Structure 1
Amino acid sequence: MAGERQDDCLFCKIVAGEVPADVVRETDTTLAFRDINPQAPTHVLVVPKAHYRDAASLAAADARVTADVLREAGEVAAQDRVDGTGYRIVFNTGTGAGQTVWHAHAHVLGGRGFNWPPG
């Protein structure tokens, strides 16, 4: 069920402290941690602490937490000092887009140039 912890979810386990992560920020509703396979010098995942399958599910269920995730993404960029040079916030939604963990999460990427279109 949306919002409830899923026992088989890696990110729920990270939020619960059962799986270690390099946490860079935490709020009442979000957790931000470094990606274990970084694609840029700054590559941080910002997740809602509550479980939502993907970004669309999160947005449909809880506008406040959706805003919290985006706000924290900006704070991560500022903390890593990539806010002045530019950064990306990416939500992969669905297998075809590269989502591999079924818990909504924003990738904050920065510290190098990016091409357009992505992919």
Structure 2
Amino acid sequence: MRVATLILLALLAVVHAELWFGKGGLPRVWSLGEQVTALQQANEAASLRNDQLAAEVRDLKEGLEMVEERARLELGMLKPDELYVHLSREAAQAASVSQPAATGQVTTP
């Protein structure tokens, strides 16, 4: 009986040693945990960089429209196939007065 108990205790010790220090033991789990932490930090850094790049792309897309609008209004710039027509307020008022047919009124001489 004593021999069987010693054999069982020895087998139990071998199994526990394999569980704690073997291929899937604590040292392996700790190293994998450190690798996971390092990869998560790298993913966070990459995510921040992606957000910055997306913001730059958005600014470039929207910024060009804003720059184009300011150039058109303040500097009178045109695209190659456009025609620029500038009307002063006096000319616009004179045009509306001289064309009463546009308002539905008909005048006879």
Q: Report which of the two has the higher share of helix.
A: 2
Higher RCO (C-alpha 8 Å, min separation 6): 1
Query: Max radius of gyration: which structure?
Result: 2
Normalising by structure 2, report the TM-score.
0.20
